[in-house]
Structure 1
Amino acid sequence: MGAWITEAGNVILFLLGGSSRLAVAMESGPNMLTPICLVENINEQLSVNQQAIQILDQISQPVVVVAIVGLYRTGKSYLMNRLAGKNNGRNPRVQMSNLPRECIRHFFPRRKCFVFDRPTNDKDLLANIEKVSEKQLDPKFQEQTNIFCSYVFTHARTKTLKEGIIITGNRLGTLVVTYVDTINSGAVPCLENAVTTLAQRENSAAVQKAADYYKQQMTQQVKFPTDTLQELLDVHAACEREAIAIFMEHSFKDENQEFQKMLVKSIASKKEDFLLQNEESSVQYCQAKLNELSKALMESISAGSFSVPGGHKLYTDEKEKIEQNYWQVPRKGVKAREVFQIFLQSQAAIETSILQADKALTDREKAVAAERAKKEVAEKEQELLKQQLQEQKQQMEAQEKTLKENIAQLKEKLEKEREEILKEQNMMLEHKLQTQKNLLEEGFKKKSEEMNAEINQLKNKIDTAKTDNRSWIARTLDSLGSAIISAVVPADGKIFDLVVKGVGSLFKNKSK
């Protein structure tokens, strides 16, 4: 047994030796280059050609799989070469039998059959069919070949597994490696196990791709420090939404949404990093501006300029001027109030000392001035606390948006997958009904009656899926919601209570 792959632009071709041929093409035309081996049989041991796998791995577009089955020396290689636009891809040495009619009907629900005459009646030419020019082939066979090739390039559908999983070049490469490794180990290949292996790889890559995209977009769009926390959270929400969409596009069979939960945690961690960078940038910027604005004040304090009668008034005037200029500085960021509050606290002892040394003020005036300074500090603390509470609320709203966005996109994906499953099951039902009809018409009454159990079982499965799948989707969304809450929201405090309350409302709306 051997296998061959040809690549040219967006077209690839596989030939599986013996009595079968497997072709994969990307609907961009028949012109291909020289084939290379995909699956080799060396001393009755199967192995995968890594060069071929590398070619497949670079193909992210959907692919079409074409299978040609026939006896040895019946023109399979020629058909593959015609698909590839060549007339030279080598005779395999191992023969395979034709599958029985029942197997073809069972494993190929949707099929298009072509009948071919012999390529030539000349035995010598037939023995070397790969080297024969088209002029030496039977005209009727050539016409049949043209019809076949035209159909494949016009009507062949993208290879799709159960649940609407589209097979790309790199996914097909992973499946091939998994199958060959399983066969070589002596085990029986299982599609479900192969798909699970494929899903693990693809979903891990999808998490990384989505997380990297989030970080890249945030880095490009956020200019530190942001004027407000909300400004950064708005950018975060947009980047997170796009990152989740990327994950949904590239992931499949994410059992229990384990990989989506990983993405949520990854984005939450990266968001915290950006929040921290934003705060640090604001602190550094505000501190630098305050140092610049208060330079003259600090020099006057050191020179004793305020240690004179009326010095307290001079000091407060200078301090108010610094405050006015400070608040006029644009884009100081989220730590502007906190940095200024620290500045005021650092000046409290100095102001008290200047106030007490000011001989121009009576004791009563000094007491009033001290009380006024104390009140001013308290007001500033209240403003800072108000800002912090507002930012906590914004954080809570951002976390709720994260929850809603993940649930909304997962719900949309699950519903599409559900529709694909029902569509596939209905097509299988139509196929079985048609097969039953054909068997009856061909005189196989007993076999036709035996299919009744299969048909009834499939009908029940479809009816059950229509109802059970909706409740399954709801349970899945509830589970994801709980996981997201534990991943991005603290386990205690008012913020957690508010988010849980919001999530409960969300689930009620979702189930309606």
Structure 2
Amino acid sequence: MEAPMCLIENSPGQPLQINAQALGILQRIHQPVVVVAIVGLYRTGKSYLMNRLAGRGTRGFSLGATVQANTKGIWMWCLPHPLRADHVLVLLDTEGLGDVEKSNTDNDSWIFALSVLLSSTFVYNSMGTINHYALEQMHFVTELSQHIKMKASDKESHDLASAFPAFVWTVRDFTLQLCLEDGTPITEDQYLERALERRPEAPESQDLPKRCIRELFPWRKCFVFDRPASRQDLQRLEELPESQLSQEFLEQAHRFCRHIQESAKAKTIQGGRLVNGTLLASLVESYVGAIRNKEVPCIENAVLALAQLENVAAVREAVQRYDKMEELMRPMLPTEDVASLLVAHSCCEEEALRVFMGRAFRDEGQHFQKQLADQLQAKLGELCRRNEGASLDRCQAVLMELYQEVEDNIVRGHYLQPGGYQRFLRDRQSVVEWFHQAEDKGLMAAKALQDFLASKEEAAQSILQADQTLQEKEKELEVEKARAEAAQREAQLQREMQERAEQMAREKERSFEEHKKQLMAKMEQERRTLLAEQERLLQQRLQEQRRLQEEGFHREVSRLQGEIQGLRHQIQNQRSCRGKICTIS
């Protein structure tokens, strides 16, 4: 995108609306997305900071220079990630919160909630210092549990922290010294954590935002910024060259941008599934649709809806990959035996499965994988029929060419002479021998020969009966001999068909094992991802428990203990289910 575009419109007196053009841009992005959203009170310099992050200086998101908020709704800017060639950086700039001139201030909470739901890194921007006033303005974070649900069945939302983005608090025009009262230097992160320290005697207006930030955003970071220029120059910040900006500010902005570029993770959903632009677009539709219907956006419902769409697409893409590979095999047809065909099919199937596994997720009961297995079995049946058809066509063409001279002799009456039947048998045997020597007949050669000879049997019997050199008894013996030879060929054909059926049965078993193997590998990968997230959250919760103990919040320590025990139980379950798998039938 050459410039930002409004993604979610917040028009006066209207519900939130999605810009179809911006949504279409997202839908065409198939790489993983790193989504960075910034929120904060209006006129705090959010857009300027995002433009720095975009690497476009001051050009991009509209800055404005008055006390009125300039950005409306949520604006989006999709850019190549500066450090990850296979990722896209999606920047979301939001309208300023708390603008008293807005006609619909209720949407502030929804803008805040959507920024949390859509981002992988959530930046809150404020001015001055993190003091009582700044925390009071963070009342939006205290409302998140009312505006976001983890599960549809929950009356109250739990486990939101596991689905929430990393939290970065940026403090603009920071004027304090980063040190303790005794002069000991502290880091920006330590400054944030000290500001979030809770005191039992503190009023709820100060304590509740601290508690919500600590509970909902376990992974936090802080950056402070000097004023970028003099107050007078701030009015024309878009026009100022970097040489006229504060050197301290430039260094601080560089550190912030480097952190986002190096550390901000790609957007994921439950189970560690990477989100690309297409999935992000679906999340936008799901969450905004819920808000427009006056419902609380539900993370689980959105994920299940995504899983349905993705799994349908995964089956379709896997079958398309199979078809594309199978097309490359067609010049090989017909194969001389079914084993060669099954080897080729198994290669196509393994590749199709890899495509499916790469896109599918939350396939409860392997419903969609079973659909794929059924379709691939049907594809194998089609491939076998195509192979048999190609073999029959080839054999029939060879037989007709080889038999043409015999056919001409029959028409000319060459065999309707004394001893003609024996000459016919010799000529026919020569045709059979030449047919056996012909190449590229395929696996239906025996069937084609049997059917061909059967189709010529009436003519053979006519020649036999017309041969005056043979007695009736001899003719009867020749008839029996012909029947015996036909029966022998039929028995051989049945043996080949039986062997082919056994090979197909073994192929079905091999296919089942391949599906099982790839499913187990996928489940193991998902299990490890989930286990790592759970262990990371457990360590954070243990740290928070110790901190609450030190701060004297004993009742909350007990409540948190229940959550910690639940996490430990989940981790133990994940460790014990290694290697277990649902049966695919």
Q: Distance in 1 between matches of 2:35 and 2:549?
A: 31
Q: Distance in 2 between matches of 1:332 and 1:365?
A: 36
Unpaired runs of 5+ residues, structure 1, are 1-6, 8-32, 483-512
- Cross-structure match for 1:228: 337
Aligned residue pair count: 444
Matches within 5 A, 1:96-495: 96=98, 97-98=137-138, 99=141, 100-120=209-229, 122=231, 124-126=232-234, 133-222=241-330, 223-442=332-551, 444-467=553-576, 469-470=577-578, 473-474=580-581, 476=582, 478=583, 480=584, 482=585
Change (3 A) 1:443 1:136: farther
- Cross-structure match for 1:55: 25
Q: Distance in 2 between matches of 1:344 and 1:145?
A: 87
Change (3 A) 1:203 1:246: same
Q: Distance in 2 between matches of 1:78 and 1:175?
A: 27
- Deviation of residue 63 (structure 1)? 1.6
Q: Distance in 2 between matches of 1:132 and 1:101?
A: 37
1:357-409 deviation per Cα after TM superposition (whole angstroms, max 9, x unaligned): 32323444434333322221111111111111111111111111211111111
Q: Distance in 1 between matches of 2:323 and 2:523?
A: 27
Q: Is the CA contact 1:225–1:281 (under 8 Å) kept in the aligned structure 2?
A: yes
Q: Distance in 2 between matches of 1:133 and 1:49?
A: 33
Q: Is the CA contact 2:8–2:17 (under 8 Å) kept in the aligned structure 1?
A: yes
Amino acid at match of 1:66: V
1:24-65 deviation per Cα after TM superposition (whole angstroms, max 9, x unaligned): xxxxxxxxx321111111124211222222222222121212
- 2:10 paired residue among 38, 41, 47: 41
- Cross-structure match for 1:494: none
Change (3 A) 1:250 1:137: same
- Deviation of residue 346 (structure 1)? 2.1
SS of the residue 2:16 aligns to: strand
Q: Distance in 1 between matches of 2:550 and 2:284?
A: 39
Change (3 A) 1:219 1:234: same
Q: Is the CA contact 1:225–1:279 (under 8 Å) kept in the aligned structure 2?
A: yes
SS of the residue 1:113 aligns to: strand
Aligned CA-pair RMSD: 2.1
SS of the residue 1:68 aligns to: strand
- Deviation of residue 193 (structure 1)? 0.8
Q: Is the CA contact 2:39–2:97 (under 8 Å) kept in the aligned structure 1?
A: no
Unpaired runs of 5+ residues, structure 2, are 63-69, 72-94, 99-136, 142-208
Amino acid at match of 2:8: V
- Deviation of residue 350 (structure 1)? 2.5
Q: Does 1:84 align with 2:54?
A: yes
Q: Is the CA contact 1:77–1:130 (under 8 Å) kept in the aligned structure 2?
A: no
Q: Distance in 1 between matches of 2:323 and 2:478?
A: 51
- Deviation of residue 126 (structure 1)? 4.5
For structure 1, which segment, 211-220 or 55-64, has the greater mean C-alpha deviation from structure 2 after superposition? Answer: 55-64
Q: Is the CA contact 2:40–2:96 (under 8 Å) kept in the aligned structure 1?
A: no
Amino acid at match of 1:54: G
TM-score by length of 2: 0.72
Q: Distance in 2 between matches of 1:299 and 1:396?
A: 45
Change (3 A) 1:328 1:236: same
1:218-257 deviation per Cα after TM superposition (whole angstroms, max 9, x unaligned): 1112322222222222111110011011000011111222
Amino acid at match of 1:103: C
- 1:73 paired residue among 38, 43, 53: 43
Amino acid at match of 1:359: Q
- Deviation of residue 115 (structure 1)? 2.5
Amino acid at match of 1:256: G
Q: Distance in 1 between matches of 2:250 and 2:434?
A: 88
Q: Distance in 2 between matches of 1:34 and 1:224?
A: 53
- Deviation of residue 313 (structure 1)? 1.1
Q: Distance in 2 between matches of 1:114 and 1:444?
A: 28
